[in-house]
Amino acid sequence: MSEWHDELELALLLLEDARIDSDCMTFVISSILSKHHIFH
């Protein structure tokens, strides 16, 4: 993987223990990426 993917994985690890369902988690991740103008 690229360095970008490694950094993304590390950032997402912070959310691993969050107690939210998968639909909400998808929304949270999508919102964060969009806020930073990252196409996904």
In a domain, 28, yes or no: yes
Residue 32 identity (one-letter amino acid): I
Q: Number of folded domains in the chain?
A: 1
Q: What is the pTM of this model?
A: 0.67
In a domain, 9, yes or no: yes
pLDDT over threshold 80, residue 26: yes
Output the average pLDDT for the chain. Answer: 88
Rounded Cα gap, residues 25 and 31, in angstroms: 10
Domain that holds residue 24: 3-35
Tell me the backbone φ, ψ of residue 3, rounded to 5 degrees.
-60, -35
In a domain, 29, yes or no: yes
